Amino acid sequence: MDFKPANNIQDLQYFGEFGGVNPSISDSSTYTFLSAKTMFDTFEGNADGCYLYSRHSSPSNLYLGEALAAMEGTETANVTASGMGAITGVILELCKANDHIVCSRTIYGGTYAFLKNFTPGFGIATSFVDITNLGLVEAAINEHTKVLYCESVSNPLLEVADIKALAALAKKYNLKLVVDNTFSPLSITPQILGADIVIHSLTKFINGSSDTVGGVVCGTQDFINALRDVNTGACMLLGSTMDTLRAASVLKNLRTLHIRIQQHSKNAMYLAEKFESIGLRTVYPGLPSHPSHAIFKSMLNDEYGYGGMLTVDVGSLDKANELMEMMQNKNLGYLAVSLGFYKTLFSAPGSSTSSEIPEEEQKKMGLSDGLIRFSIGLDADIERTHTVMVDCMRAVGVL
Ligand SMILES: *Cc1c(COP(=O)(O)O)cnc(C)c1O
């Protein structure tokens, strides 16, 4: 792939009100109109460029949205208060009672809970399938299906979706392909591969400082307008709007994303290779042993690598817990959920972020008790990190 997502972010030029190098922060919930007629037209959606009320849109949120749209190669974007705010808005915009979704069975726990427990109450049914098996995906599509939903790199098993092939299926059956790209910003550009709508939890790599939650929906102008429609739009009416002060701070962090992703990927690749070579059961899409390595490689934007996420199966939850506590005591990282921080974060997904998924289903999808999910940090000295991690593994009997 030769798409240059970071260039697209950097080519956007927004000067602040007084020539500031950062755009001025908009600090208002409501906006004045010079004429009453313009206010009416704005409500009717006929006054481009006018701000009405900040749940609808605001300058700071638009700046961040446009930068993320440039990164993802979509016409535009809408930022939201959290990743779940983006996901729930998109699903409820696209699906009404009697509609059906075909969804990857290995997805973020909150998304799984929403589709499994919440949306059936609104008459929206979901079939969960192994997204890497295109035959199963196609077989699950029925006359009510509206949406094909997946994560480009799945949480927590790091399965890789073949976005081009899924886009072809979506086209064939007239579905919307929605891709959550939270685990692989910059590395994968789903829109180029045929995705209709791209979602991120900004909470993770994109903001990168673990100081806020946030989300974004990237898509066509028509779809984003529909989400924001005053009378019918899911984002407008459900109200998960990002605060404008926060949008300004996320935009500043976004500008260094390319450097951070390169370092996350470099460090994760280093550890994954070492771990695998000493016999640890390691899953990392950058390893040739990963079942979808070739697919990831075919989708990869050069120079960003395979991302910062890897998993190691240490055999049992007790061993996993012991190891994680010891690594935290040695200051190798933090025993915490979430990802994309400068410091390595680790957790056992079976008992934390994926605990919404019933144990039996966890087993079926290969999510074992002893699995540790790592979000590898920006460590300057990854060789030393590796040495101390291996010491910890020896001490708890994993090696
Ligand atoms: C964290 C996460 C979400 C949810 O995002 P929030 O910002 O926590 O609401 C959705 N998808 C993936 C893949 C995530 O990792």
pLDDT in tens, 184-226: 999 999 999 999 999 999 999 999 999 999 999 999 999 999 9
Question: Ligand 1 atom 12: the closest Cα is on which residue?
Answer: 108
How confident is the model over 53-85, as pLDDT tens digits?
Answer: 999 999 999 999 999 999 999 999 999 999 999
* Ligand 1 pocket, residue 216 CB under 6 Å: no
81 CB near ligand 1 (under 6 Å):
no
Q: Answer whether 83 contacts ligand 1 (Cβ < 6 A).
A: yes
Q: Edge-to-edge strands of the sheet including 176-180?
A: 76-80, 215-219, 197-201, 176-180, 145-151, 100-104, 125-129
Residue 42 has, within 13 A of its CA and on its CB side, a CA count of 17
Among 84, 158, 216, residue to substitute to test ligand 1 (most atoms within 8 Å of Cβ)? 84
Domains of the chain: 5-254 (3.40.640.10), 258-395 (3.90.1150.10)
Question: Atom 1 in ligand 1: which residue has the minimum CA distance?
Answer: 201
Give the pTM: 0.96
Confidence of residue 43 (pLDDT cuts 50, 70, 90): confident
* pLDDT, position 41: 81
- Provide the terminal-to-terminal Cα distance of the chain, rounded to the nearest Å: 39
Residue 309 backbone dihedrals phi, psi, to 5 degrees:
-100, 130
Q: What is the arithmetic mean of pLDDT over 251-273?
A: 98
| Distance (Å) from CA 46 to ligand 1 centroid | 34
Pocket test for ligand 1, best of 200, 201, 205 (most atoms within 8 A of CB): 201
Question: pLDDT tens across 269-302, in order?
Answer: 999 999 999 999 999 999 999 999 999 999 999 8
pLDDT for res 225: 94
Ligand 1 pocket, residue 151 CB under 6 Å: yes
